[in-house]
Structure 1
Amino acid sequence: MRLRKKWWARPEMEASSLTITEVQKYKGKWKEEFKNQNDIYLELGCGRGKFLYTQALNNTNINYIGIDLKDEVLIYALKKLQEDEVTNARIMPMNIAQIEEVFDKDEISRIYINFCNPWPKRRQKKRRLTHTVFLNRYRKFLKLGSEIWFKTDDRELFEESQEYFKENNFEIRYLTYDLHSSDFTENVVTEYEEKFTSLGMKTMFLIAKML
């Protein structure tokens, strides 16, 4: 569904210190931005921010950055953070394809990819956030031993992503085809996940460690 343009969103976002718009300026300086030495976790495609907000609120010893292309959803992520005065999270409106321009070597300790676009057509698959093209980009700024946590409801994407990770020297440390019936206890439910779980759809999940 096409999002209705919210012309007021960008000015409101830019008025907040929690929004980073000149993203390239922060490469290599994220510890300075957060004013501490805590690990930084990155959510790619944070949408309306329920996952980002919940993680940051519950883990104040970790810094979080949420990226999404659309101001129309990021504004809601910002409002959640502002409501509870969450200070250990930032949002960035940008195209994830430019991500290697934003982070320097060893700056990120974990990546979350929650229900990304499955891009099912053959010519589109390089756009997948789990594809080799993107995994190579992440390697440039992930710490050795860092993890990527990946959730999807698309079986083809899930199974092909397992191959992408293995081909790019990631070890799959946890895997389930039915997250909500598994023994995994650290799941934070996204807005999308909540909606489609109620309709009977299963969430697939894996953790891949960079070797």
Structure 2
Amino acid sequence: MRLRKKWWARPELERDNKAIFNPSQHKGKWKELFGNKNPIHLELGCGRGRFINELAGSCDDTNYLAIDVYEELLVYVLRKANEGRLNNLKVIPMNIGNIEDIFAPDEIEKLYINFCNPWPNKRHHKRRLTHPNFLRRYQTFLLKGGEIWFKTDSELLFADSLEYFKTAGFKELYRTYDLHQSDFNHNIMTEYEEKFCNQGIKIMFGRFINIK
């Protein structure tokens, strides 16, 4: 997805202390930044933030971080957070490719990957956020026993990702090929998810626990 550059996005983010522009300085100190000892959950590629805002609003005993490379999207995440007066949510404008540089071991308890780019061309598979190359990076900071929750509308990506998680040392806890017709009762819809569901597209979902 490419967005038209909005000149006002960066200044608006810079005026909000919920936007973190120097994340590597907080490595090993994220709980200090939040001012409490609550567990930290992380969403990769948060878009406009419907998912992470609803989650943070429903669980005030957990801290949330949302990463996206597009500042033009993160401003909407923060607007929602401020409207909801959420103090347990912060955003990080950055490329996920350097994610292992900003978190210390065992610093993240749960990680959410929602509708990431499926990169269907085989030569691009290493760019997938569920590829073992990325999963091993997450393991440098994901708690042993911590989880990754993964949602997608791509059958190919989901099938490949099941193998990726196994290869990287994750145990599958839950799997469904039709989330909205499943027995999973804790789903929060993203903007993409609502669009896909209105088109009759099935959503695949899995929970995976880090056993390394």
TM-score category of the 2 structures, normalised to the smaller one: over 0.9
Aligned length: 211
Which residue of 2 is the match for residue 35 of structure 1?
A: 35
How much does 1:134 deviate? 0.4
Residue of structure 2 equivalent to 1:74: 74
CA distance, structure 2, for counterparts of residue 9 and residue 101 of structure 1: 25
Give 1:168's aligned amino acid.
A
Q: How much does 1:162 deviate? A: 0.2
Q: CA deviation at 1:3?
A: 1.6
Query: Which residue pairs with 2:87 in the alignment?
Result: 87
Q: CA deviation at 1:2?
A: 3.4
**What is the DSSP-based 3-state SS (H/G/I as helix, E as strand, rest coil) of the residue aligned with 2:200?**
coil
What per-residue deviation string (whole Å, max 9, x for no partner) do you get for residues 72-95 of structure 1? 111100100011110000001000
Q: Give the 3-state SS of the residue equivalent to 2:48 in structure 1.
A: coil
Q: Which amino acid aligns with 1:108?
A: I
Q: Secondary structure of the residue that 1:3 maps to in structure 2?
A: coil
- How far is 1:203 from its partner? 0.4
Q: What's the TM-score, normalizing by structure 1?
A: 0.99
RMSD of Structure 2 on Structure 1 (CA): 0.7
Can you list the C-alpha shifts for 1:89-124, whole angstroms capped at 9, x where unaligned?
000100001000010011000000000000111111
Distance 2:2 2:94 in 1: 18
Residue 149 of structure 2 corresponds to: 149
1:173 match: secondary structure: strand
Q: CA deviation at 1:48?
A: 0.2
Match in the other structure for 2:10: 10
- Partner Cα separation in structure 2 for residue 209 and residue 194 of structure 1: 27
The alignment's TM-score, normalised by the length of structure 2, stands at 0.98
Distance 1:52 1:7 in 2: 25
Q: In structure 2, what is the equivalent of residue 22 of structure 1?
A: 22
For 1:187, the equivalent position in structure 2 comes to 187
Q: Aligned residues: percent identity?
A: 54
Task: Give the residue type in structure 2 aligned to 1:111.
Answer: L
Q: Distance in 2 between matches of 1:167 and 1:196?
A: 29
Instruction: Report the counterpart of residue 210 of structure 2 in structure 1.
Output: 210
1:201 aligns with 2:201: yes
- How much does 1:20 deviate? 0.4
Q: Can you list the C-alpha shifts for 1:41-99, whole angstroms capped at 9, x where unaligned?
A: 00000000000100000000000000000011111001000111100000010000100
- Could you tell me which amino acid in structure 2 is paired with residue 42 of structure 1? L
SS for the counterpart of 2:175 is: strand
SS of corresponding position for 1:165: helix
Q: Secondary structure of 1:91's partner? A: strand
Unaligned runs of 5+ in 2: none
**Aligned partner of residue 137 in structure 1, secondary structure:** helix
In 2, the alpha carbon distance for the partners of 1:193 and 1:94 equals: 23
The one-letter code sitting in structure 2 at the alignment partner of 1:21 is: F
Aligned to 1:28, the other structure's residue is in SS state coil
